[in-house]
Structure 1
Amino acid sequence: MEQVVARENMLAALKRVERNGGAPGVDGVPTERLRDQIRVEWSRIREELLQGTYRPQPVRRVEIPKPGGGKRMLGIPTVMDRLIQQALLQVLTPIFDPTFSESSYGFRPGRRGHDAVRKARQYVEEGYDWVVDMDLEKFFDRVNHDVLMARVARRVTDKRVLRLIRRYLQAGVMLNGVVVATEEGTPQGGPLSPLLANILLDDLDKELERRGHHFVRYADDCNIYVRSKRAGERVYRSVRHFLQERLRLEGQRGEERSGPAVEAAVPRV
Protein backbone atom coordinates (compact mmCIF):
# COMPACT_ATOMS: atom_id res chain seq x y z
CA MET A 1 0.00 0.00 0.00
CA GLU A 2 2.95 2.31 0.58
CA GLN A 3 3.73 2.05 -3.15
CA VAL A 4 0.14 2.92 -4.01
CA VAL A 5 0.05 6.14 -1.95
CA ALA A 6 3.61 7.20 -2.81
CA ARG A 7 3.72 10.81 -4.04
CA GLU A 8 5.08 10.01 -7.51
CA ASN A 9 2.50 7.29 -8.09
CA MET A 10 -0.37 9.49 -6.92
CA LEU A 11 0.74 12.40 -9.11
CA ALA A 12 0.84 10.12 -12.15
CA ALA A 13 -2.61 8.78 -11.24
CA LEU A 14 -3.98 12.32 -10.82
CA LYS A 15 -2.75 13.35 -14.27
CA ARG A 16 -4.33 10.27 -15.86
CA VAL A 17 -7.69 10.79 -14.15
CA GLU A 18 -7.73 14.47 -15.15
CA ARG A 19 -6.80 13.57 -18.72
CA ASN A 20 -9.55 10.94 -18.94
CA GLY A 21 -12.23 13.24 -17.52
CA GLY A 22 -15.63 11.60 -17.34
CA ALA A 23 -18.86 12.14 -15.47
CA PRO A 24 -19.06 12.67 -11.70
CA GLY A 25 -19.88 9.83 -9.32
CA VAL A 26 -22.55 9.73 -6.62
CA ASP A 27 -21.06 12.72 -4.76
CA GLY A 28 -21.42 14.99 -7.80
CA VAL A 29 -17.78 16.14 -7.68
CA PRO A 30 -16.47 16.76 -11.24
CA THR A 31 -12.92 16.01 -12.34
CA GLU A 32 -12.18 19.74 -12.38
CA ARG A 33 -12.65 19.90 -8.59
CA LEU A 34 -10.56 16.83 -7.76
CA ARG A 35 -7.47 18.85 -6.79
CA ASP A 36 -9.56 20.96 -4.39
CA GLN A 37 -10.93 17.78 -2.85
CA ILE A 38 -7.42 16.36 -2.50
CA ARG A 39 -6.24 19.47 -0.64
CA VAL A 40 -9.07 19.12 1.87
CA GLU A 41 -9.38 15.34 2.27
CA TRP A 42 -6.23 13.57 1.11
CA SER A 43 -4.39 13.57 4.43
CA ARG A 44 -7.27 11.69 6.06
CA ILE A 45 -7.85 9.36 3.11
CA ARG A 46 -4.15 8.51 2.83
CA GLU A 47 -4.05 7.56 6.50
CA GLU A 48 -7.17 5.41 6.10
CA LEU A 49 -5.60 3.64 3.12
CA LEU A 50 -2.43 2.91 5.09
CA GLN A 51 -4.47 1.71 8.08
CA GLY A 52 -6.69 -0.45 5.87
CA THR A 53 -9.87 1.32 6.97
CA TYR A 54 -10.79 3.29 3.83
CA ARG A 55 -14.25 2.54 2.42
CA PRO A 56 -15.09 3.49 -1.17
CA GLN A 57 -18.38 5.16 -2.05
CA PRO A 58 -21.01 3.34 -4.14
CA VAL A 59 -20.81 3.66 -7.91
CA ARG A 60 -23.36 5.53 -10.01
CA ARG A 61 -25.11 3.21 -12.46
CA VAL A 62 -25.35 4.43 -16.07
CA GLU A 63 -26.31 2.79 -19.35
CA ILE A 64 -24.37 3.45 -22.55
CA PRO A 65 -25.33 2.22 -26.03
CA LYS A 66 -23.14 -0.49 -27.57
CA PRO A 67 -21.98 -0.10 -31.20
CA GLY A 68 -23.78 -3.30 -32.23
CA GLY A 69 -27.00 -2.43 -30.44
CA GLY A 70 -28.15 -2.97 -26.90
CA LYS A 71 -26.77 -1.29 -23.82
CA ARG A 72 -23.80 -1.78 -21.54
CA MET A 73 -24.19 -1.12 -17.83
CA LEU A 74 -21.40 0.89 -16.24
CA GLY A 75 -20.71 1.80 -12.63
CA ILE A 76 -19.14 5.25 -12.37
CA PRO A 77 -16.97 5.69 -9.24
CA THR A 78 -16.43 9.09 -7.62
CA VAL A 79 -13.40 10.97 -8.94
CA MET A 80 -11.59 10.31 -5.65
CA ASP A 81 -12.19 6.58 -6.01
CA ARG A 82 -11.11 6.76 -9.66
CA LEU A 83 -7.87 8.36 -8.44
CA ILE A 84 -7.27 5.58 -5.89
CA GLN A 85 -8.16 2.86 -8.40
CA GLN A 86 -5.78 4.38 -10.95
CA ALA A 87 -3.00 4.43 -8.35
CA LEU A 88 -3.71 0.76 -7.57
CA LEU A 89 -3.70 -0.06 -11.28
CA GLN A 90 -0.27 1.50 -11.79
CA VAL A 91 1.21 -0.68 -9.03
CA LEU A 92 -0.61 -3.91 -9.93
CA THR A 93 -0.14 -3.84 -13.72
CA PRO A 94 3.63 -4.54 -13.64
CA ILE A 95 2.93 -7.44 -11.26
CA PHE A 96 0.23 -9.16 -13.32
CA ASP A 97 0.64 -8.12 -16.95
CA PRO A 98 3.88 -10.05 -17.68
CA THR A 99 2.09 -13.26 -16.63
CA PHE A 100 -0.84 -12.85 -19.04
CA SER A 101 -1.37 -14.85 -22.22
CA GLU A 102 0.05 -13.68 -25.54
CA SER A 103 -3.47 -14.19 -26.92
CA SER A 104 -4.93 -11.53 -24.59
CA TYR A 105 -4.96 -8.05 -26.15
CA GLY A 106 -7.45 -5.85 -24.30
CA PHE A 107 -6.33 -3.06 -21.94
CA ARG A 108 -2.70 -4.13 -21.86
CA PRO A 109 0.38 -1.92 -22.26
CA GLY A 110 1.79 -1.98 -25.78
CA ARG A 111 -1.10 -3.98 -27.25
CA ARG A 112 -3.86 -2.70 -29.52
CA GLY A 113 -7.04 -3.87 -31.18
CA HIS A 114 -5.23 -3.96 -34.53
CA ASP A 115 -2.87 -6.61 -33.13
CA ALA A 116 -5.86 -8.79 -32.22
CA VAL A 117 -7.38 -8.37 -35.69
CA ARG A 118 -4.06 -9.29 -37.32
CA LYS A 119 -3.80 -12.49 -35.28
CA ALA A 120 -7.42 -13.41 -36.05
CA ARG A 121 -6.75 -12.97 -39.77
CA GLN A 122 -3.72 -15.22 -39.49
CA TYR A 123 -5.81 -18.03 -37.98
CA VAL A 124 -8.44 -17.72 -40.72
CA GLU A 125 -5.79 -17.82 -43.44
CA GLU A 126 -4.35 -20.97 -41.83
CA GLY A 127 -7.70 -22.72 -42.28
CA TYR A 128 -9.29 -22.09 -38.89
CA ASP A 129 -12.21 -20.40 -40.56
CA TRP A 130 -14.99 -21.10 -38.07
CA VAL A 131 -15.19 -18.85 -35.02
CA VAL A 132 -16.68 -19.57 -31.61
CA ASP A 133 -17.81 -16.26 -30.11
CA MET A 134 -17.76 -16.53 -26.31
CA ASP A 135 -19.76 -13.49 -25.19
CA LEU A 136 -18.10 -13.12 -21.81
CA GLU A 137 -19.78 -9.79 -21.04
CA LYS A 138 -22.92 -11.76 -20.09
CA PHE A 139 -21.00 -13.45 -17.29
CA PHE A 140 -19.68 -10.40 -15.48
CA ASP A 141 -22.79 -9.56 -13.49
CA ARG A 142 -22.37 -12.98 -11.86
CA VAL A 143 -18.65 -12.97 -10.98
CA ASN A 144 -18.01 -14.63 -7.62
CA HIS A 145 -15.92 -12.26 -5.51
CA ASP A 146 -14.13 -15.06 -3.65
CA VAL A 147 -13.01 -16.67 -6.92
CA LEU A 148 -11.68 -13.35 -8.24
CA MET A 149 -9.95 -12.37 -5.00
CA ALA A 150 -8.27 -15.78 -4.75
CA ARG A 151 -6.63 -15.07 -8.10
CA VAL A 152 -5.54 -11.57 -7.06
CA ALA A 153 -4.08 -13.03 -3.85
CA ARG A 154 -1.81 -15.34 -5.86
CA ARG A 155 0.49 -12.36 -6.46
CA VAL A 156 -0.58 -9.72 -3.92
CA THR A 157 0.23 -10.36 -0.27
CA ASP A 158 -0.58 -6.96 1.27
CA LYS A 159 -3.82 -7.57 3.17
CA ARG A 160 -4.70 -3.88 2.99
CA VAL A 161 -4.60 -3.93 -0.80
CA LEU A 162 -6.66 -7.13 -0.96
CA ARG A 163 -9.20 -5.68 1.47
CA LEU A 164 -9.46 -2.47 -0.54
CA ILE A 165 -10.05 -4.30 -3.82
CA ARG A 166 -12.77 -6.41 -2.23
CA ARG A 167 -14.39 -3.26 -0.85
CA TYR A 168 -14.45 -1.80 -4.35
CA LEU A 169 -16.20 -4.94 -5.56
CA GLN A 170 -18.74 -4.69 -2.73
CA ALA A 171 -19.17 -0.89 -2.60
CA GLY A 172 -22.71 -1.10 -3.95
CA VAL A 173 -24.59 0.71 -6.70
CA MET A 174 -26.67 3.87 -6.36
CA LEU A 175 -30.06 3.41 -8.07
CA ASN A 176 -32.69 6.14 -7.77
CA GLY A 177 -31.06 7.45 -4.61
CA VAL A 178 -30.91 4.03 -2.96
CA VAL A 179 -27.68 2.06 -2.45
CA VAL A 180 -28.06 -1.54 -3.64
CA ALA A 181 -25.51 -4.03 -2.30
CA THR A 182 -23.28 -5.88 -4.78
CA GLU A 183 -22.88 -9.44 -3.54
CA GLU A 184 -21.44 -10.63 -6.85
CA GLY A 185 -20.30 -9.18 -10.16
CA THR A 186 -17.56 -6.75 -11.13
CA PRO A 187 -18.67 -3.16 -11.79
CA GLN A 188 -17.42 -2.12 -15.23
CA GLY A 189 -16.46 1.54 -15.41
CA GLY A 190 -13.60 2.13 -12.96
CA PRO A 191 -9.90 2.20 -13.91
CA LEU A 192 -9.28 -1.10 -12.10
CA SER A 193 -12.10 -3.04 -13.79
CA PRO A 194 -10.24 -4.15 -16.96
CA LEU A 195 -7.26 -5.48 -14.99
CA LEU A 196 -9.53 -7.44 -12.64
CA ALA A 197 -11.29 -8.92 -15.68
CA ASN A 198 -7.95 -9.93 -17.21
CA ILE A 199 -6.81 -11.48 -13.91
CA LEU A 200 -9.96 -13.60 -13.71
CA LEU A 201 -10.01 -14.57 -17.39
CA ASP A 202 -6.31 -15.43 -17.48
CA ASP A 203 -7.32 -18.84 -16.13
CA LEU A 204 -9.49 -19.27 -19.23
CA ASP A 205 -6.65 -18.13 -21.49
CA LYS A 206 -4.25 -20.62 -19.92
CA GLU A 207 -6.81 -23.44 -20.26
CA LEU A 208 -7.35 -22.64 -23.95
CA GLU A 209 -3.58 -22.65 -24.45
CA ARG A 210 -3.27 -25.98 -22.64
CA ARG A 211 -5.86 -27.47 -24.99
CA GLY A 212 -3.99 -26.12 -28.01
CA HIS A 213 -6.79 -23.82 -29.20
CA HIS A 214 -6.24 -20.87 -31.51
CA PHE A 215 -7.95 -17.89 -29.91
CA VAL A 216 -7.95 -14.13 -29.50
CA ARG A 217 -9.35 -12.41 -26.42
CA TYR A 218 -9.90 -8.67 -26.18
CA ALA A 219 -11.33 -7.93 -22.71
CA ASP A 220 -14.70 -9.73 -22.54
CA ASP A 221 -14.72 -10.61 -26.25
CA CYS A 222 -13.14 -14.04 -26.78
CA ASN A 223 -13.07 -15.69 -30.22
CA ILE A 224 -11.83 -19.25 -30.66
CA TYR A 225 -10.91 -20.32 -34.21
CA VAL A 226 -11.60 -23.90 -35.33
CA ARG A 227 -11.79 -25.87 -38.61
CA SER A 228 -15.46 -26.90 -38.60
CA LYS A 229 -18.85 -25.99 -37.19
CA ARG A 230 -19.05 -29.31 -35.35
CA ALA A 231 -15.69 -28.65 -33.67
CA GLY A 232 -16.89 -25.17 -32.75
CA GLU A 233 -20.05 -26.44 -31.08
CA ARG A 234 -18.00 -28.97 -29.11
CA VAL A 235 -15.54 -26.26 -28.01
CA TYR A 236 -18.37 -23.93 -27.02
CA ARG A 237 -19.92 -26.52 -24.70
CA SER A 238 -16.55 -27.44 -23.22
CA VAL A 239 -15.48 -23.84 -22.56
CA ARG A 240 -18.87 -22.97 -21.10
CA HIS A 241 -18.48 -25.90 -18.70
CA PHE A 242 -15.01 -24.63 -17.70
CA LEU A 243 -16.38 -21.14 -17.02
CA GLN A 244 -19.11 -22.55 -14.81
CA GLU A 245 -17.08 -25.15 -12.93
CA ARG A 246 -13.67 -23.51 -12.53
CA LEU A 247 -14.47 -19.80 -12.53
CA ARG A 248 -18.06 -20.15 -11.27
CA LEU A 249 -19.31 -17.84 -14.01
CA GLU A 250 -22.91 -18.85 -14.56
CA GLY A 251 -24.02 -16.36 -17.21
CA GLN A 252 -27.39 -14.65 -17.18
CA ARG A 253 -30.65 -16.47 -16.52
CA GLY A 254 -32.10 -17.82 -19.76
CA GLU A 255 -28.80 -17.42 -21.61
CA GLU A 256 -28.25 -21.20 -21.52
CA ARG A 257 -31.24 -21.63 -23.85
CA SER A 258 -29.52 -19.87 -26.74
CA GLY A 259 -27.47 -21.93 -29.15
CA PRO A 260 -23.70 -21.85 -29.54
CA ALA A 261 -22.41 -18.75 -31.33
CA VAL A 262 -20.46 -20.58 -34.06
CA GLU A 263 -20.21 -19.07 -37.51
CA ALA A 264 -17.99 -18.90 -40.55
CA ALA A 265 -15.22 -16.41 -39.92
CA VAL A 266 -14.88 -13.40 -42.20
CA PRO A 267 -11.58 -11.49 -42.10
CA ARG A 268 -12.19 -7.91 -41.02
CA VAL A 269 -10.20 -4.83 -41.81
Structure 2
Amino acid sequence: MTHFTDESQKAIAELARQDAARALQEDVGNGDLTAGLIDPVRRARALILARESAVLCGAPWLEEAVHQLDPQARITWLVAEGQRCVADQVVAEIEGQARALLTAERTALNYLQLLSGVATTTAMYVDAVKGTRARIVDTRKTLPGLRLAQKYAVRTGGGTNHRIGLYDAVLIKENHIAAAGGVAPVLQAAAQLMREGAAQAAFVEIEVETLVQLDEALQAGATMVLLDNMDIPGLNEAVRLNAGRAILEISGGVTLKSLRALAETGVDRISIGALTKDVKAIDFSMRFQEL
Protein backbone atom coordinates (compact mmCIF):
# COMPACT_ATOMS: atom_id res chain seq x y z
CA MET A 1 0.00 0.00 0.00
CA THR A 2 1.14 3.55 -0.70
CA HIS A 3 1.56 5.69 2.42
CA PHE A 4 -0.01 9.15 2.16
CA THR A 5 1.25 12.28 3.91
CA ASP A 6 -0.89 14.13 6.46
CA GLU A 7 -1.50 16.86 3.87
CA SER A 8 -2.65 14.39 1.23
CA GLN A 9 -4.86 12.64 3.80
CA LYS A 10 -6.64 15.94 4.41
CA ALA A 11 -7.13 16.41 0.67
CA ILE A 12 -8.48 12.86 0.36
CA ALA A 13 -10.90 13.46 3.23
CA GLU A 14 -12.21 16.64 1.56
CA LEU A 15 -12.50 14.87 -1.79
CA ALA A 16 -14.45 12.03 -0.16
CA ARG A 17 -16.75 14.55 1.54
CA GLN A 18 -17.56 16.29 -1.73
CA ASP A 19 -17.99 13.05 -3.68
CA ALA A 20 -20.26 11.50 -1.06
CA ALA A 21 -22.42 14.62 -0.81
CA ARG A 22 -22.92 14.66 -4.57
CA ALA A 23 -23.68 10.93 -4.72
CA LEU A 24 -26.15 11.06 -1.82
CA GLN A 25 -27.99 13.97 -3.42
CA GLU A 26 -28.19 11.99 -6.65
CA ASP A 27 -29.57 8.93 -4.84
CA VAL A 28 -31.71 10.40 -2.05
CA GLY A 29 -33.11 13.54 -3.65
CA ASN A 30 -35.93 14.80 -1.42
CA GLY A 31 -35.87 11.74 0.82
CA ASP A 32 -35.57 7.96 1.05
CA LEU A 33 -39.17 6.77 0.83
CA THR A 34 -38.41 3.16 1.74
CA ALA A 35 -36.22 3.95 4.75
CA GLY A 36 -39.09 6.12 5.97
CA LEU A 37 -40.91 2.90 6.85
CA ILE A 38 -38.44 2.31 9.70
CA ASP A 39 -38.92 3.75 13.20
CA PRO A 40 -36.68 6.84 13.34
CA VAL A 41 -35.31 5.96 16.79
CA ARG A 42 -34.39 2.41 15.87
CA ARG A 43 -30.70 1.59 15.83
CA ALA A 44 -28.91 -1.13 13.90
CA ARG A 45 -25.59 -2.86 13.49
CA ALA A 46 -24.38 -3.61 9.97
CA LEU A 47 -21.54 -5.77 8.72
CA ILE A 48 -19.69 -5.06 5.47
CA LEU A 49 -18.69 -8.34 3.86
CA ALA A 50 -16.30 -8.98 0.98
CA ARG A 51 -17.68 -11.56 -1.44
CA GLU A 52 -14.33 -12.05 -3.15
CA SER A 53 -10.64 -11.45 -2.48
CA ALA A 54 -9.50 -7.88 -3.07
CA VAL A 55 -7.35 -4.95 -2.03
CA LEU A 56 -9.69 -2.87 0.08
CA CYS A 57 -9.98 0.76 -0.97
CA GLY A 58 -12.56 3.48 -0.43
CA ALA A 59 -12.86 3.67 3.36
CA PRO A 60 -12.95 7.51 3.44
CA TRP A 61 -15.83 7.50 0.95
CA LEU A 62 -17.82 4.87 2.83
CA GLU A 63 -17.30 6.75 6.09
CA GLU A 64 -18.48 10.01 4.55
CA ALA A 65 -21.60 8.40 3.05
CA VAL A 66 -22.55 7.09 6.50
CA HIS A 67 -21.51 10.09 8.61
CA GLN A 68 -23.24 12.65 6.41
CA LEU A 69 -26.50 10.92 7.37
CA ASP A 70 -25.57 9.90 10.91
CA PRO A 71 -22.60 11.84 12.31
CA GLN A 72 -22.61 9.68 15.45
CA ALA A 73 -22.41 6.35 13.67
CA ARG A 74 -19.50 4.17 14.79
CA ILE A 75 -17.45 2.48 12.06
CA THR A 76 -14.86 -0.14 12.95
CA TRP A 77 -12.58 -1.37 10.17
CA LEU A 78 -11.40 -4.96 10.49
CA VAL A 79 -9.40 -4.69 7.25
CA ALA A 80 -7.37 -1.51 6.81
CA GLU A 81 -7.28 0.60 3.66
CA GLY A 82 -4.85 -0.98 1.20
CA GLN A 83 -4.85 -4.37 2.87
CA ARG A 84 -6.07 -7.54 1.21
CA CYS A 85 -9.32 -9.22 2.20
CA VAL A 86 -10.66 -12.64 1.25
CA ALA A 87 -14.08 -13.94 0.23
CA ASP A 88 -16.71 -13.91 3.02
CA GLN A 89 -14.50 -11.81 5.31
CA VAL A 90 -16.14 -9.09 7.41
CA VAL A 91 -14.17 -5.93 6.58
CA ALA A 92 -16.10 -3.42 8.71
CA GLU A 93 -18.76 -3.11 11.41
CA ILE A 94 -21.11 -0.11 11.60
CA GLU A 95 -23.50 0.87 14.38
CA GLY A 96 -25.91 3.77 14.04
CA GLN A 97 -29.41 4.93 13.17
CA ALA A 98 -31.15 2.22 11.14
CA ARG A 99 -32.69 4.72 8.69
CA ALA A 100 -29.33 6.39 8.03
CA LEU A 101 -27.54 3.10 7.42
CA LEU A 102 -30.24 1.93 5.02
CA THR A 103 -30.10 5.19 3.07
CA ALA A 104 -26.31 5.27 2.96
CA GLU A 105 -25.93 1.62 1.99
CA ARG A 106 -25.83 1.84 -1.80
CA THR A 107 -23.71 4.99 -2.01
CA ALA A 108 -21.22 3.60 0.52
CA LEU A 109 -20.95 0.25 -1.24
CA ASN A 110 -20.69 1.82 -4.70
CA TYR A 111 -17.55 3.69 -3.69
CA LEU A 112 -16.07 0.70 -1.87
CA GLN A 113 -16.75 -1.62 -4.83
CA LEU A 114 -15.43 0.75 -7.50
CA LEU A 115 -12.28 1.90 -5.71
CA SER A 116 -11.41 -1.57 -4.45
CA GLY A 117 -11.77 -2.77 -8.04
CA VAL A 118 -9.24 -0.18 -9.24
CA ALA A 119 -6.83 -0.90 -6.37
CA THR A 120 -7.09 -4.67 -6.86
CA THR A 121 -6.46 -4.48 -10.61
CA THR A 122 -3.53 -2.11 -10.07
CA ALA A 123 -2.00 -4.47 -7.51
CA MET A 124 -2.18 -7.33 -10.04
CA TYR A 125 -0.23 -5.29 -12.59
CA VAL A 126 2.28 -4.09 -9.97
CA ASP A 127 2.89 -7.67 -8.85
CA ALA A 128 3.47 -8.73 -12.45
CA VAL A 129 6.44 -6.35 -12.91
CA LYS A 130 8.16 -6.97 -9.58
CA GLY A 131 11.90 -7.35 -9.99
CA THR A 132 12.02 -4.99 -12.98
CA ARG A 133 12.55 -1.22 -12.99
CA ALA A 134 9.13 -0.56 -14.50
CA ARG A 135 6.46 1.29 -12.56
CA ILE A 136 2.76 0.93 -13.33
CA VAL A 137 1.17 4.27 -14.23
CA ASP A 138 -2.45 5.31 -14.73
CA THR A 139 -3.97 7.55 -17.45
CA ARG A 140 -6.76 10.11 -17.90
CA LYS A 141 -9.14 7.33 -18.99
CA THR A 142 -11.25 7.67 -15.86
CA LEU A 143 -14.95 7.79 -15.03
CA PRO A 144 -16.17 11.41 -15.40
CA GLY A 145 -16.30 13.13 -12.03
CA LEU A 146 -14.34 10.38 -10.26
CA ARG A 147 -10.83 10.93 -11.61
CA LEU A 148 -9.21 11.94 -8.32
CA ALA A 149 -10.89 9.10 -6.45
CA GLN A 150 -9.74 6.57 -9.03
CA LYS A 151 -6.20 7.93 -9.05
CA TYR A 152 -6.18 7.62 -5.26
CA ALA A 153 -7.19 3.97 -5.70
CA VAL A 154 -4.34 3.41 -8.16
CA ARG A 155 -1.88 4.67 -5.56
CA THR A 156 -3.50 2.53 -2.88
CA GLY A 157 -2.93 -0.48 -5.12
CA GLY A 158 0.76 0.38 -5.46
CA GLY A 159 0.65 2.20 -8.79
CA THR A 160 1.85 5.65 -9.81
CA ASN A 161 -0.23 8.59 -10.98
CA HIS A 162 0.42 10.18 -14.36
CA ARG A 163 -0.73 13.76 -14.94
CA ILE A 164 -4.04 14.58 -13.25
CA GLY A 165 -5.41 16.55 -16.19
CA LEU A 166 -4.47 18.85 -19.04
CA TYR A 167 -3.38 21.57 -16.62
CA ASP A 168 -0.56 20.02 -14.60
CA ALA A 169 1.83 18.54 -17.18
CA VAL A 170 2.72 18.69 -20.87
CA LEU A 171 2.12 15.54 -22.89
CA ILE A 172 2.88 16.08 -26.57
CA LYS A 173 1.06 13.59 -28.79
CA GLU A 174 0.89 12.89 -32.52
CA ASN A 175 -1.55 15.69 -33.32
CA HIS A 176 0.44 18.23 -31.31
CA ILE A 177 3.58 17.28 -33.26
CA ALA A 178 1.75 17.63 -36.57
CA ALA A 179 0.18 20.96 -35.61
CA ALA A 180 3.52 22.37 -34.41
CA GLY A 181 5.48 21.29 -37.49
CA GLY A 182 7.53 18.43 -36.09
CA VAL A 183 9.22 16.91 -33.06
CA ALA A 184 11.98 19.50 -32.66
CA PRO A 185 9.73 22.59 -33.04
CA VAL A 186 7.16 21.34 -30.54
CA LEU A 187 9.85 20.52 -27.97
CA GLN A 188 11.34 23.96 -28.49
CA ALA A 189 7.92 25.49 -27.83
CA ALA A 190 7.57 23.40 -24.65
CA ALA A 191 11.00 24.49 -23.44
CA GLN A 192 10.08 28.11 -24.04
CA LEU A 193 6.83 27.65 -22.11
CA MET A 194 8.72 26.23 -19.16
CA ARG A 195 11.36 28.99 -19.23
CA GLU A 196 8.71 31.69 -19.22
CA GLY A 197 6.95 30.07 -16.28
CA ALA A 198 3.59 30.57 -17.95
CA ALA A 199 2.50 27.13 -16.80
CA GLN A 200 3.35 25.10 -13.71
CA ALA A 201 3.99 21.84 -15.52
CA ALA A 202 5.18 18.84 -13.51
CA PHE A 203 6.96 17.46 -16.57
CA VAL A 204 7.19 17.59 -20.36
CA GLU A 205 6.72 14.28 -22.17
CA ILE A 206 6.59 13.56 -25.88
CA GLU A 207 4.99 10.58 -27.57
CA VAL A 208 6.87 8.90 -30.45
CA GLU A 209 5.87 6.05 -32.73
CA THR A 210 9.19 5.19 -34.37
CA LEU A 211 12.86 4.92 -33.50
CA VAL A 212 13.57 7.78 -35.90
CA GLN A 213 11.22 10.00 -33.91
CA LEU A 214 12.80 8.81 -30.67
CA ASP A 215 16.26 9.79 -31.91
CA GLU A 216 14.94 13.16 -33.04
CA ALA A 217 13.31 13.75 -29.66
CA LEU A 218 16.48 12.83 -27.78
CA GLN A 219 18.56 15.11 -30.02
CA ALA A 220 16.10 17.91 -29.23
CA GLY A 221 16.62 17.42 -25.49
CA ALA A 222 13.59 15.33 -24.51
CA THR A 223 13.80 14.08 -20.92
CA MET A 224 10.65 11.95 -20.93
CA VAL A 225 9.43 9.93 -23.91
CA LEU A 226 6.29 7.87 -24.41
CA LEU A 227 6.85 4.91 -26.77
CA ASP A 228 3.50 4.28 -28.42
CA ASN A 229 2.55 0.75 -29.51
CA MET A 230 6.09 -0.49 -30.17
CA ASP A 231 6.80 -4.22 -30.35
CA ILE A 232 9.37 -5.96 -28.13
CA PRO A 233 12.30 -5.71 -30.61
CA GLY A 234 11.51 -2.03 -31.10
CA LEU A 235 11.41 -1.42 -27.37
CA ASN A 236 14.71 -3.20 -26.83
CA GLU A 237 16.31 -1.01 -29.47
CA ALA A 238 14.67 2.10 -28.00
CA VAL A 239 16.16 1.34 -24.58
CA ARG A 240 19.59 0.81 -26.18
CA LEU A 241 19.34 4.00 -28.22
CA ASN A 242 18.15 6.01 -25.23
CA ALA A 243 21.08 4.89 -23.05
CA GLY A 244 19.50 6.33 -19.93
CA ARG A 245 19.13 9.85 -21.29
CA ALA A 246 15.35 10.11 -20.89
CA ILE A 247 12.65 8.41 -18.86
CA LEU A 248 10.99 5.89 -21.16
CA GLU A 249 7.32 5.02 -20.88
CA ILE A 250 5.30 2.40 -22.76
CA SER A 251 1.69 2.94 -23.75
CA GLY A 252 -0.84 1.24 -25.99
CA GLY A 253 -2.25 -2.26 -26.06
CA VAL A 254 -0.74 -3.35 -22.75
CA THR A 255 -2.34 -6.45 -21.23
CA LEU A 256 -1.59 -8.44 -18.10
CA LYS A 257 -0.40 -11.28 -20.35
CA SER A 258 2.09 -9.11 -22.23
CA LEU A 259 3.13 -7.00 -19.25
CA ARG A 260 6.13 -8.94 -17.95
CA ALA A 261 7.85 -9.12 -21.34
CA LEU A 262 7.30 -5.39 -21.81
CA ALA A 263 8.74 -4.60 -18.38
CA GLU A 264 11.81 -6.74 -19.01
CA THR A 265 12.84 -4.52 -21.93
CA GLY A 266 14.14 -2.07 -19.32
CA VAL A 267 11.63 0.77 -19.71
CA ASP A 268 10.89 2.97 -16.69
CA ARG A 269 7.11 3.25 -16.80
CA ILE A 270 4.15 1.41 -18.29
CA SER A 271 0.89 3.36 -18.51
CA ILE A 272 -2.32 1.35 -18.57
CA GLY A 273 -5.76 2.81 -19.24
CA ALA A 274 -7.49 -0.39 -18.13
CA LEU A 275 -6.65 0.37 -14.49
CA THR A 276 -9.42 2.96 -14.38
CA LYS A 277 -11.33 2.48 -17.64
CA ASP A 278 -12.23 -1.21 -17.65
CA VAL A 279 -13.15 -1.47 -13.99
CA LYS A 280 -14.55 -4.70 -12.55
CA ALA A 281 -16.16 -3.73 -9.27
CA ILE A 282 -15.44 -5.87 -6.24
CA ASP A 283 -18.51 -7.49 -4.68
CA PHE A 284 -19.23 -6.18 -1.18
CA SER A 285 -22.51 -6.40 0.71
CA MET A 286 -24.05 -4.95 3.86
CA ARG A 287 -25.87 -7.23 6.28
CA PHE A 288 -27.95 -5.92 9.21
CA GLN A 289 -28.00 -7.49 12.68
CA GLU A 290 -30.44 -6.76 15.48
CA LEU A 291 -29.08 -4.85 18.46
TM-score range, shorter chain: under 0.3
More helix by share: 1
More strand by share: 2
**TM-score, normalising length from structure 2?**
0.24
**TM-score, normalising length from structure 1?**
0.25
